[in-house]
Structure 1
């Protein structure tokens, strides 16, 4: 690891941590398998691919929803000092298809690549009014923009998505770049041009499995209560600032599996060996999940988990 990374507290995850999710990667133990060929006598499969940071692609092969994509990842100096320009070719190569793109909040590491992905695929960008202002700044037409204040069911092809109002977690004692946008920001933007806006926890109902995406380590208890789901994609950074974070998530949502996210830095190239964000205790996070009776599925960046539909069948 370069010396400058060590000086700012970056380190790489212990490869042995992935062994904690071996059951999720071992077909004999009921873990992910190859997707069945069309026409095979096998249940439909849902694929969840981790993009790093808080990004995910959820697809059944016919319909694809993307959450918080951020692949561009300029280095530390560029991120702090220059306008942030999406890497169009990288986005096209790694996410060739999308029907809808859901934004949990409008910080740069959650939204920068979303308008470009929508432009390439024709997908809608769905999020808060602040997220829509970002889409306008990037030149998306009105028909590809949908603002929500949350608590409404939105048809996404054969699926249904719902944003639940939430809170941004505290990082080192503070909430970075708070506020809303009421006009389009500069484009390409700098980091500080993109406040978080309304934070939304996204519930994706595929008709067989229900997936909750929590992209920042806080939430509103009354918004989550009663929304049972099978899988939670759960933010790791800042969880220590929210008492009983994992315990309360499990109490409200009763998931079978939790896929940790937002544990890796947003300045390490997406196809390089990942670095842990300073302050992330990934082993402790996995232990907390297991202590609540839930299976953690620690997933490599650009790795995937496959699940049979319906949810009670278990991982594929």
Structure 2
């Protein structure tokens, strides 16, 4: 009888411990899948008005379309970075194959009034950048510019050779009054989630053959990362999608506007944070900085954008870090919601 009571007590103790462990695990998972920031804290950095009037001659308008999809428009010519609009859910991305949604892409093109697009420039070939770019090129008859990996995604989607162009680093591409120079960059430092990493396998550094959807998200290999220096008249814009830097790359460049990737910035070592700011913002000396790659791209673009998940980012810390430094340097910071537009100059 005594042994039986001891066994029952042991079972209860084990059950209690397992219950507590499960409860804490579920709590931790719930926290991990929450937003990493509260946009209400940054209300003063949003424009609260959307430019819809015709673009005046000489002006350039920017529209934020989530993640690092940036539309630039001078009223005559439009250029776009990435064009990632499908935004499949986290569960679909993690556990099944993914593919572009033509209906979503068409609806974004219509809502954003993308009707005179001449070029799509892909910053690297992970799925959240390149996945939809070939279909955007097809639907708009724009040319797709990218690395050999991006070109293979285009071939897999059936794009014709004349509708694609391999990046030529440092050589300006003229599209209307825009001049776009592609600069070599680095991807955000690798990270691990649930034991998996996004680091590029040195044995497979690029997408080496045509990639045809549907495929796994991991089939989209980085294939090199790139920044875009864009000149329009006397004004310059730099689009830096990834949170990393090449030392000395911007020593001789100043810009009016910097669109800066901030994903995972505060998760990096303090020395990296310091160097990132110094090698980008300090050297480029923009009058206006627009943070990009801050939103949760597992949610539809049709909804108000939310910050990245706590699972892999800390939006509040990223912004606090950025705002402290830009305030000292007297640089204006502007956040944009999905489909929001402002005139840059």
TM norm structure 2:
0.79
| Separation of aligned partners in 2, 1:67 and 1:93 | 18
RMSD of equivalent CA atoms? 2.4
Whether the aligned pair in 2 keeps the contact of 1:166 and 1:199 (CA below 8 Å) is yes
Q: Which has the higher helix share?
A: 2
| Separation of aligned partners in 1, 2:133 and 2:71 | 12
| Separation of aligned partners in 2, 1:50 and 1:4 | 32
| Separation of aligned partners in 2, 1:175 and 1:256 | 36
| Separation of aligned partners in 2, 1:153 and 1:5 | 47
Q: Which residue of 2 aligns with 1:273?
A: 304
Deviates more, 1:139-148 or 1:204-213: 204-213
Matched, 1:187 2:187: no
TM-fit CA distance, 1:43: 5.2
TM-fit CA distance, 1:182: 2.0
| Separation of aligned partners in 2, 1:291 and 1:69 | 34
TM-fit CA distance, 1:53: 0.9
| Separation of aligned partners in 2, 1:74 and 1:93 | 15
Whether the aligned pair in 2 keeps the contact of 1:12 and 1:274 (CA below 8 Å) is no
Instruction: Provide, for residues 42-94 of structure 1, a one-character-per-residue CA deviation record: whole Å limited to 9, x for no partner.
Output: 65321101111111111011100000211101111111122222121221222
Matched, 1:207 2:233: yes
Instruction: Provide, for residues 143-173 of structure 1, a one-character-per-residue CA deviation record: whole Å limited to 9, x for no partner.
Output: 0111114221112222111111011112547
Q: Which residue of 1 aligns with 2:198?
A: 176
Task: Output aligned runs, 1:150-169, within 5 Å.
Answer: 150-169=169-188
| Separation of aligned partners in 1, 2:103 and 2:89 | 18
| Separation of aligned partners in 2, 1:48 and 1:12 | 26
| CA separation of 1:126 and 1:175: change in aligned 2, threshold 3 A | farther
Q: Which residue of 2 aligns with 1:92?
A: 106
Unmatched 5+ stretches in structure 2: 1-26
Q: Which residue of 2 aligns with 1:46?
A: 60
Moved over 6 A (4+): none
Matched, 1:246 2:264: no
| Separation of aligned partners in 1, 2:129 and 2:224 | 13
Q: Which residue of 1 aligns with 2:4?
A: none
Unmatched 5+ stretches in structure 1: 27-31, 309-316
Q: 1:217 aligns with which of 236, 243, 257?
A: 243
| Separation of aligned partners in 1, 2:163 and 2:29 | 39
Q: Which residue of 1 aligns with 2:326?
A: 289
| Separation of aligned partners in 2, 1:147 and 1:237 | 27
Whether the aligned pair in 2 keeps the contact of 1:164 and 1:203 (CA below 8 Å) is yes
Q: 1:72 aligns with which of 86, 92, 102?
A: 86
TM-fit CA distance, 1:297: 0.6
Q: 2:38 aligns with which of 11, 14, 17?
A: 14
Instruction: Provide, for residues 210-244 of structure 1, a one-character-per-residue CA deviation record: whole Å limited to 9, x for no partner.
Output: 11111110021222221211111111112232332
TM-fit CA distance, 1:34: 5.1
- Number of equivalent positions: 296
TM-fit CA distance, 1:4: 10
| CA separation of 1:91 and 1:291: change in aligned 2, threshold 3 A | farther
Structure of higher CA gyration radius: 2
